[in-house]
Amino acid sequence: MRIAFFIFLILFFSLIEFFFPLIKKKRNGKSRFNNFSLAFFNSFFQGFVFPGGLFLVASAFHDNSWGLFHQLPFLSNWPVFEWIISILILDFFIYWQHRFFHKIPFFWRFHKVHHADASYDLSLGLRFHFLELFFSSLLKIFIVLIFGIDPLAFLFFEVLLSSFSLFHHSNIAFPWSVEKHLHKFIVTPKMHVLHHSKIESVSNSNFSFSVSFWDQIFSSFTPVFNRVHEETVVGIDENTEESFFGLLTLPFRKKK
């Protein structure tokens, strides 16, 4: 069911990209194929490292009543409230993880695989190095252990996070009448494309992944204006049309 849902999102966002592009620069098919190949590889890697899946890890913690939430009995009477808190906590930590991955050179070596893409479309939302995802999984396990997050809430967050990654990396332009309100609540493509700017001072902003207010709260927001993004140049100085193997080895190569 989850796989079918993501296939639907990919097809749906691809269709909207075709008719309402934010940036008209086209990606070549080989580059898109390599991004999708990396996503498939990552799925197998995560299944190997966490054979039961992070959902089962969360279930084990929850069944053993580990975590802060189990010390707050009133939350059991408000399951919806607990879910909302859990999702916001997870999203908060993902925001700071993102900032640290830009700030700390060791983690940037892996995160730059994502940023080294010189094109912007939904396949970019799948382009992550498997070790970056591994480090992120360790963080999520730590959060689940500390708070004892409900496994179903955790699963919902995982689906939400993956869906938003596809959405805000999609090359989609909304009418300004919609955009000017929408990005105040959620991360839109027009907001996130600034994070992929080749201008470092701009790329070190708009770190949010789902809800957009973390950037407002922690002073990392670059404003979104009603202008065409044709002049937006995305990527980093190491932009290359990488092969699948090149994407895997990029963090371990010296900067050209």
Q: Is residue 93 a contact partner of residue 143, using CB atoms and an 8 Å limit? A: yes
Q: What is the pLDDT of residue 29?
A: 77
Q: What residue ranges do the domains of the chain occupy?
A: 2-252
Q: What is the pLDDT of residue 132?
A: 96
Gap between the Cα atoms of 234 and 10, Å rounded: 21
User: For the ranges 1-5, 28-32, 132-136, 250-254, which has the lowest average pLDDT?
Assistant: 1-5
pTM exceeding the 0.75 threshold for the entire prediction = yes
Where helices occur in 104-170 by DSSP H, the ranges are 105-115, 130-147, 151-168
Q: How many Cα atoms occupy the beta-carbon half-sphere of 155 within 13 Å? A: 12
Q: What is the pLDDT of residue 228?
A: 56
Q: What percent of the chain has pLDDT over 90?
A: 55
Rg (C-alpha) for the chain, rounded Å, is 18
Interval 54-102: pLDDT, tens: 777 778 777 777 778 777 776 666 778 888 999 999 999 999 999 999 9
Q: What is the pLDDT of residue 49?
A: 60
